[in-house]
């Protein structure tokens, strides 16, 4: 049975989905917290957004060659609204996600997948519109090469820790991890960043000098959302 998302999660997700990784990164900078970038992660379904609490998955290499070894069976345990975060050490030697998993995840309400490793069947995931992000792409199956180590544990994505329940946001710019206890404040500040930059853009396109528009609307501290003020 699909697990429902926590109360308040959908409202927060809706707000976050209207933002982008740039505004969220600026908001995290304003809190002087590590940026939370998941290095090397690129969009495989351009224009899509993955947004939600992390469901973590960790793989390890097969340590014997006796009999068939399936890569993993965990997708039925992923709560609706989650973003699957897979750690296979960034490997480009075999895949950790394909079209079957994309189809089932989409059907179950999973909001995207970020793989520190490789994926395949990219065309099918794009056609379905499933938000898929990864370090690499290969056609080589993970069967008989990797097995599930565990789910629900902290994973390390090229130096950035991701804990179950941390929020993941990924778009065409890349992927971010936002600590669970900072999500609401990061979203609030990112919304302010977007408003500040929108005012600056409108003023500059309306004929103002860009440097003057930046000073006027508080570009140095956009998360404070000072509005139309002349004294900064």
pLDDT digits (tens, 9 = 90+) for 81-125: 999 999 999 999 999 999 999 999 999 999 999 999 999 999 999
Contact between residue 78 and residue 148 where contact means Cβ atoms under 8 Å apart: no
Tell which residue, 89, 83, 90, 85, has the closest CA to residue 56: 85
- 3-state secondary structure at position 160: strand
Q: How confident is the model at residue 227 (pLDDT cuts 50, 70, 90)?
A: low
197-202, Cβ contacts within 8 angstroms, sequence gap of 24 or more: 197/23, 197/222, 199/227, 199/228
What is the pLDDT at residue 4?
Answer: 38
Record the pTM.
0.88
> How would you classify residue 76: left for phi > 0, otherwise alpha for psi between -120 and 50, otherwise beta?
alpha
> What are phi and psi for residue 45, nearest 5 degrees?
-120, 85
Burial class (CB in 10 A: 0-12, 13-18, 19+), 197: middle
Round the CA-based radius of gyration of the chain to a whole number and report it: 20
Taking residues 64-68, report their average pLDDT: 68
167-171 and 174-178 beta bridge pairing:
antiparallel
CA separation for the pair 198, 213 (Å, rounded)? 11
CA separation for the pair 29, 223 (Å, rounded)? 10
E strand or H helix at 195: helix 183-205
Tokens 């929108």 appear where? 198
Tell which residue, 22, 74, 55, 90, has the closest CA to residue 168: 55
pLDDT digits (tens, 9 = 90+) for 36-63: 999 999 999 999 999 999 999 999 998 8
What is the pLDDT at residue 226?
Answer: 66
């Amino acid at each position: 049975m699909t697990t429902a998302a926590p109360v308040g999660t959908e409202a927060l997700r809706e707000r976050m989905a209207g933002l982008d990784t740039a505004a969220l990164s600026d908001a995290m900078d304003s809190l002087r917290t590590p940026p939370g970038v998941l290095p090397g992660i690129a969009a495989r379904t351009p224009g899509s957004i993955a947004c939600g609490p992390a469901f973590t998955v960790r793989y390890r290499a097969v340590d014997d060659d006796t009999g068939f070894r399936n890569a993993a069976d965990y997708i039925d345990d992923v709560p609706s609204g989650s973003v699957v975060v897979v750690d296979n050490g960034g490997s480009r030697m075999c895949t950790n996600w394909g079209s079957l998993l994309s189809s089932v995840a989409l059907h179950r309400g999973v909001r995207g997948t970020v793989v520190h490793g490789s994926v395949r069947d990219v065309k099918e995931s794009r056609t379905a519109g499933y938000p898929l992000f990864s370090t690499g792409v290969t056609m080589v199956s993970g069967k008989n090469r990797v097995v599930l180590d565990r789910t629900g544990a902290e994973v390390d994505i090229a130096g950035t820790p991701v804990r179950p329940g941390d929020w993941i946001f990924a778009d065409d710019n890349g992927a971010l991890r936002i600590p669970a206890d900072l999500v609401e404040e990061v979203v609030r500040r990112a919304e302010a960043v977007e408003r500040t930059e929108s005012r600056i853009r409108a003023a500059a396109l309306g004929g103002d000098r860009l440097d003057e528009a930046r000073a006027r609307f508080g570009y140095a501290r956009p998360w404070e959302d000072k509005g139309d003020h002349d004294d900064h």
